[in-house]
Structure 1
Amino acid sequence: MDMQAPSQPRTKVWFDGACPLCIREIGVMKRLDRQGAIDFVDVSASADPSCPIDQSELLARFHAEENGRVLSGAEAFAAMWRAIPVLRPLGLISRNRAVLAVLERLYILFLRVRPRLQKLLR
Structure 2
Amino acid sequence: MTPKPKSPQVTVWYDGECPLCQREIALFRRLDRRAGIDFIDVAGDAACPIDRASLLQRFHAREAGGPLVSGAAAFAAMWRAIPLLSPLGHVARIPVVLWGLERLYRLFLVVRPGLQSLARRLAPAPRDAA
TM-score between both structures, scaled by the size of structure 2: 0.84
In the alignment, what sits opposite 1:29? 28
In the alignment, what sits opposite 1:39? 38
In the alignment, what sits opposite 1:56? 53
String of CA shifts for 1:46-91, please: whole Å, max 9, x gaps: 3x32x32110011110000112311100000000000000000000
In the alignment, what sits opposite 2:87? 89
Moved over 4 A (4+): none
CA–CA distance in 2 between the matches of 1:96 and 1:8?
27
CA–CA distance in 2 between the matches of 1:18 and 1:7?
28
CA–CA distance in 2 between the matches of 1:14 and 1:8?
16
- Corresponding residue pairs, total: 115
Superposition CA RMSD, Å: 1.4
Query: CA 1:18–1:92 in 2, change beyond 3 Å: closer, same or farther?
Result: same
One-letter amino acid of the structure 2 residue matched with residue 77 of structure 1? F
Query: CA 1:39–1:84 in 2, change beyond 3 Å: closer, same or farther?
Result: same
How far is the alpha carbon of 1:10 from its aligned partner?
2.1
Alignment check: 8 A CA contact 2:8 2:35 kept = no
One-letter amino acid of the structure 2 residue matched with residue 96 of structure 1? I
Partner-residue secondary structure (3-state), 1:78 = helix
Structure 2: segments with no counterpart, 5+ residues: 121-130
CA–CA distance in 2 between the matches of 1:27 and 1:7?
22
CA–CA distance in 1 between the matches of 2:68 and 2:18?
21
In the alignment, what sits opposite 1:103? 101
One-letter amino acid of the structure 2 residue matched with residue 53 of structure 1? I
